[in-house]
Amino acid sequence: MSPGRRQYLDIKNNYQDCLLLFRMGDFYETFDEDAKKLSSILNIALTARDVGAEDKVPLAGIPYHSLENNLMKLIDSGLKIAIAEQTSDPKESKGIVDRAVTRVITPGTVTDPDLLDSNDDNFLVSLYEDKDVIHIAALDISTGKFETYSSDRQNIFNEIERLNPREIIYSKDNSEIFNEYFDSFLTREYEGPVKNTALAKSTIYSHFEIEDLSQIGIDNKKSLIMSLGMILDFVGSNQKTFAKNIQKINNIDRSNDLILDYVTLRDLEITKSISGNDDNTLFSF
């Protein structure tokens, strides 16, 4: 096995749920099943590369300068994208060039303005249910807009339709509940380390540099704490430079609000027209 192949596999092993874009000189290259996915989504050639002895593996790549142009297509397909950059100067490297993943991008963690719709929030949403109460944490990492809501199974679909998130994460504890709700949205089962309220609180304390939840106006409710801990950990693990613009949480009480269901919102053309665009809606005037 070549040193480059060994380095690739070592990095890929830590990002098995991602399509890994591996910087090789002037290209980002993909291998194995990732290469097949890249080739299919971007409609580019699928070739092969020798990796030692007589072995060959599938290969597909894109020029480094076309990365941003292609990222949106990959993100819209629902993939998590890990980008491994060269972290040492090839001219000064005596052996293989050092490489490391510098960012992981999912639909709900996009920050590049060129990849965002300036007219809409780009919400990542986390959900957790406990004792028939569902808490929703909704975060737009590009702006720092961070909101929480409480709901129940009767109203959760309408809340999600209103938020129109790019991505939804939920705990394995709740997978049987939420799997059946959101077929029209990209959903992921959260697989991070926040498995209980103690770990969730630790994540919240660390990010906001606080010692008590009351300092940010948060109640000591399990569903709320878990939804916040999961979303902060998910963003922190995917963004190597943590979003410092996430400074406060707006804990919204909608118990006295009139909540319109999805069909009513659509028929009244409040935020989107029936055809699905932003023109000629109530909010566009």
- Exposure b/e, 27-57, CB count within 10 A at least 16 = b: bbbbbeebbebbbebbeeeeeebebeeeeee
Which residue shows structure tokens 């990542």? 124
Is residue 110 domain-resident? no
| Residue 18 included in any domain | yes
**Same domain? 127 vs 249:** yes
CATH number, position 32 = 3.40.1170.10
Host H or E run for residue 147: strand 145-151
pLDDT in tens, 67-79: 988 998 999 898 9
Residues 90 and 200 in one domain: no
48 lies in a domain? Answer: yes
Residue that is last in its domain, among 78, 105, 132? 105
Q: Are residues 188 and 229 in the same domain?
A: yes
**Does residue 141 belong to any structural domain of this protein?**
yes
Task: Please say if the pLDDT value at position 30 is more than 90.
Answer: yes
Better pLDDT: 246 or 257: 246
My answer on whether 164 and 267 are in the same domain is no
pTM over 0.75: yes
Do 200 and 268 reside in the same domain of the chain? no
Are 37 and 7 in a shared domain?
Answer: yes
Average pLDDT of span 235-251 = 80
Range of the domain at 91: 3-105
Which token pair is 167?
A: 């991505």
Looking at every residue in the chain, the average pLDDT score rounds to 87
> What is the Cα–Cα distance from 285 to 281, expressed in whole angstroms?
7
Give the model confidence (pLDDT) of 87-136 as tens digits.
998 888 778 999 999 989 999 998 888 888 777 889 999 999 999 999 99
Candidates 4, 6, 61, 3; CA nearest to 29 is: 61
